[in-house]
Structure 1
Amino acid sequence: MYSRLQIARKYIRYYLTAKNGRGHGVHSPFVYDFIRNVLNDRRRPAVWDRIELLRAQLLKDETWLEVEDMGAGSSVAKGRQRQVREIARHAAKPAKLGQLLFRIARYYQRERVVELGTSLGLSTAYLGSGAASVWTIEGASAIAAVAARNFQDLGLGGVELVVGNFDELLDGVLDRAGSVDLAFIDGNHRLEPTLRYFHALMERCAPGAILIFDDIHWSEEMEEAWGKIQRDPRVYMTIDLFFIGLVVFREEFKVKQHFSIRF
């Protein structure tokens, strides 16, 4: 993975070269609409406050968990013994990203969402509050147990949590989902697994599906994976928000377009 200094330099370069976050100069109708009505939607649903209250509680939770790590994905807090508050601080997605996931799920009326990498369930909570049904996979059973309690406390009846190795469980989850119209891939930040998940999801994508990849600039491997995804002949539209990358499938896309948007 890149050092903090390397990531900071990459972010500065991204910020200086990306299209502005207001939509000026963007000629794709889909991307312009995405910027105006998703990225810049300033409404704040009440459920966000409940999720952020849960985050505040998790950040104070000193409970120790025995954690098995199944993939590259944490640059901090190594080892099997980890406190809930450390996981909440270093592994949980920030509110800004979680709320974007909610807006994407809600605006595009997603029905079947798959998430790889539940962690404590904060990103899942945002997805589950904006979409009809979510299937989420978490590799660490102790962390999954905390997430399950969080889903119950938030009343998220549309979330199905599956515990175990992504490679062993993904096909079964996709079978149960039937087809996928939104996926969030976060949990194994390596080249080969990321591409494997991409290809598996591609086989089950519904028309208009959106695949979201986390930490596309986290390491050389992740940047290589993102580049390969962009070059895939089935991919015509990608949006780089630096921290995440979106792959959008729509029938009207006939020419490859890759956008970098300030977020």
Structure 2
Amino acid sequence: MFYQVFQYIKFLFKSSNQHGVHSPFVFDLVSKCFYDKTNYESYHAILEYRKSLLNNNSELSIEDLGAGSQVMSQQKRLVSNIAKNAGTTTKRAKLLFRLTNYFKPKNVLELGTSLGIATHAISLGNIEANITSVEGCKETSAFSKTQLIKFRVENVSLIKGNFNNEIEKLSSNSYDLIFFDGNHQKEATLKYFETLLKTATNESVFIFDDIYWSKGMTEAWNIIKAHPKVTVTIDTFFWGFVFFRSEQVKEHFTIRV
């Protein structure tokens, strides 16, 4: 926890808003998406989805295949507690909605379905997208499938399986957006990045969750930033955005969201 607090203080000193951005592509993304103040109708659905989880006291047996939770260590966990302590926040779910509404990705991959909060938001952002979401925990995957059906999400294919096995099968596809939100460990994150790099196009965006989760995750983020195929990156502290736009000069931005 101390590591994250220290890194956040450093982030605040380095970060800026859209006025510190000279790239037209990044300026538009920040001003028209990150800082979009529109009160979208879909926000109500996002709130309702989260509310239904917070009111759900059913119990799941959790298999932590990655770094696990920094808040909950017990194997048996209430859905309401997972949503409160480990699920995607409302603010970030709204941002995911805006991102998919802005980029209109056709093919999306999510590593780490969890309770489906992010999955639901991505789906709302572009109902025509083909979304594949992979979850390693059997009971969580089954619960989220039922939850997404309950909220009439029809453009998501859920896969229950180990990331290491499943991404190898998916690496022959191309993805416009990949959300890495399942295993917060340096070696695993770098392996997923390298394996799925071949799926990226010039217009793709990779989003890495919790890049300051640990020293190892920050090291992974810095290695990804330096990769020769990566051009533009954006550090928002909680997420790291990676772009592969060949027409852009290599540049890194630190933006408060």
Give the shorter-chain TM-score range. Answer: over 0.9
| Partner residue of 1:147 out of 144, 148, 152 | 144
Task: Note the C-alpha offset of 1:245.
Answer: 0.2
Q: Which runs of structure 2 are paired with 1:143-182 in the superposition (5 Å)?
A: 143-175=140-172, 178-182=173-177
Q: Which runs of structure 2 are paired with 1:59-78 in the superposition (5 Å)?
A: 59-78=54-73
Whether the 8 Å CA contact 2:171–2:198 is kept in 1: the answer is: no
Structure-2 residue corresponding to 1:91: 86
Over 3 Å counting, the alpha-carbon distance change for 1:153 and 1:46 in structure 2 is: farther
Structure-1 residue corresponding to 2:208: 213
**Structure-2 separation of matches of 1:17 and 1:231:** 18
- 1:258 and 2:255 aligned: no
Counterpart code for 1:15: L
CA offsets 1:84-133 (integer angstroms, 9 cap, x no match): 11111122111111111111111111100000000000000011112311
Number of aligned pairs? Answer: 255
Counterpart code for 2:192: Y
CA offsets 1:206-240 (integer angstroms, 9 cap, x no match): 22100000000110110000000011111111000
Unaligned runs of 5+ in 1: none
Structure-2 residue corresponding to 1:13: 10
CA offsets 1:49-106 (integer angstroms, 9 cap, x no match): 1221121121122211112111114111113211111111122111111111111111
Identity of aligned residues (%): 39
Counterpart code for 1:71: G
CA RMSD across the alignment = 1.3
Whether the 8 Å CA contact 1:73–1:187 is kept in 2: the answer is: no
Task: Note the C-alpha offset of 1:145.
Answer: 1.5
**Structure-2 separation of matches of 1:9 and 1:220:** 11
**Structure-2 separation of matches of 1:171 and 1:157:** 25
Task: Note the C-alpha offset of 1:173.
Answer: 3.2
Counterpart code for 2:12: Y
Structure-2 residue corresponding to 1:231: 226
Q: Which runs of structure 2 are paired with 1:131-146 in the superposition (5 Å)?
A: 131=126, 132-146=129-143
Structure-2 residue corresponding to 1:246: 241
**Structure-2 separation of matches of 1:29 and 1:73:** 38
Task: Note the C-alpha offset of 1:42.
Answer: 1.3
**Structure-2 separation of matches of 1:168 and 1:106:** 30
Whether the 8 Å CA contact 2:235–2:241 is kept in 1: the answer is: yes
Where 1:79 maps in the other structure, the secondary structure is coil
TM-score where L is the length of structure 1: 0.93
Whether the 8 Å CA contact 2:180–2:208 is kept in 1: the answer is: yes
Whether the 8 Å CA contact 1:135–1:173 is kept in 2: the answer is: no
Where 1:203 maps in the other structure, the secondary structure is helix
Moved more, 74-83 or 110-119: 74-83
**Structure-1 separation of matches of 2:39 and 2:162:** 35
Counterpart code for 2:234: I
Unaligned runs of 5+ in 2: none
Whether the 8 Å CA contact 1:216–1:243 is kept in 2: the answer is: yes
Structure-2 residue corresponding to 1:49: 44
TM-score where L is the length of structure 2: 0.95
